[in-house]
Amino acid sequence: GGFRIGTAATPRLLWVLQSEGATVLIDGPGGGGKNNTHGTLTLGAQYYLLRTLWVHAGLGFATYRIVDTVQETQVVDLERNGFAYASAVGFDLFRSPDLWSFGFRRQDFAISFEVRVVGALYPGDTDAMGEKQKTGGIVQITSGFGFQWY
């Protein structure tokens, strides 16, 4: 899932801070297991090509972590930091009419559909045990409906 917060730079351009994350739980023998967690934090821009059609792009930081659970004790197996990117294209299905408040024109809200691609690149590094870790990446593609308040 994810969360975004932003501010308008111009009537067509928004600056957006976005957080995305996902966790995969893998059951292991004897009640143990692994939690694979991936998270990103990006700063980007959302630009309206038309009144209801927009594109988004951003860059930032990423983390990846694997935690083993053995007999109710959690042990960090792997932790990596890297670079993140986010991109999306969206279409506002519904936008409230223009409103005037305290002499300023503003939009109330929009319900939109979007397709989002969030990814990360984790450069090769040496882990705590002195072993070389390979360069790797993760790509997450999602689609869904969003609620935007302006």
Q: What is the pLDDT along the chain (150 residues), one digit of tens a residue?
A: 788 898 889 989 999 999 988 888 877 666 667 788 889 999 999 999 998 899 999 999 999 888 876 666 666 677 889 999 999 999 988 877 655 555 554 556 788 999 999 999 998 877 666 777 788 888 989 999 988 776
CA distance 136 to 53: 33
Query: Strand, coil or helix: what is 71?
Result: coil
- The residues that bridge with 114 in the sheet, in sequence order, are 90, 144
CA distance 108 to 96: 6
CA proximity to 127, closest of 68, 76, 61: 76
CA proximity to 92, closest of 57, 55, 118, 58: 55
Residue 3: how many CB atoms within 10 A of its CB? 9
Q: β-strand 109-122 against 136-149: which pairing, if any? A: antiparallel
